[in-house]
A and B are shown apart, each in its own frame.
Chain A
């Protein structure tokens, strides 16, 4: 599924990486634990998280994760934005909870990573 469609389905707002909206995602992973995120990684993976801090962006960088959804109305700070731009990532904010975001994307055919 294209990033653009994913963002629409969760009523998301793309705050970084607008030029990558046409890219395809096949699987998803939801977590609030950095070390958990560090066991994953794939080019077509979208991370759904309730975290929103600079460490999250660093952790995604180390895991080769390019697409992140910040659930439950979490806002992206300028510091996060700078680091995400540097790493050419896509960041999406949504007011949906992690559970709802995961459910919507799962029902739409995004595969679980594990």
Chain B
């Protein structure tokens, strides 16, 4: 099963809708609650990153019999140094984003902890693609 969602940069009131939909679908499919939790936390961190840091993006989720694959790709400023961005505490979030409670610099490492496989590709001034896989 494949699902696709559009995500708008800066649109915090709708941030999380894609992850919320996927959560409901995974529940309906009777996926183990721990796997649901891990998958939606990783997805949500990625979704919020598009809203907080990029201009617009797409989230594609593919649910197969043995795994869940998600691809979050955006058009945005990209990440110049991925190792640095992965480090806990590193954040370029704006003051406005921090006031909402984001910008701890923990999102990418939360994504890594909550996925079985994760890959990031990014090009400065073009955009970022994050792929995660969780096995069922």
Contact = CB atoms under 8 A, between A and B. Distances in A.
B15 interface: yes
Contacts of A54: 12-13
Contacts of A79: 13
Interface in B71-128: 100-102, 104-107, 110
A61 interface: yes
B41 interface: yes
A61 B48 contact: no
A36 B106 contact: yes
Contacts of A51: 100-101
Contact residues of B: prevailing secondary structure: helix
Given A33-B106, A35-B106, A35-B110, A55 B41 contact: no
Counting chain B residues whose Cβ lies within 8 A of the other chain, the interface size class is: 20 to 34
B118 to A, nearest CB: 15
B19 interface: yes
Given A41-B37, A62-B16, A55 B100 contact: yes
A59 B44 CA distance: 8
B50 to A, nearest CB: 14
A58 B16 contact: yes
Interface in A39-97: 39, 41, 49, 51, 53-56, 58-59, 61-64, 79
A70 to B, nearest CB: 12
A61 B22 CA distance: 12
A63 B20 CA distance: 11
Interface of B: 12-13, 15-16, 19-20, 23, 33, 37, 40-41, 44-45, 48, 100-102, 104-107, 110
Given A35-B106, A38-B106, 5 more contacts: A35-B105, A35-B107, A41-B37, A54-B13, A59-B16
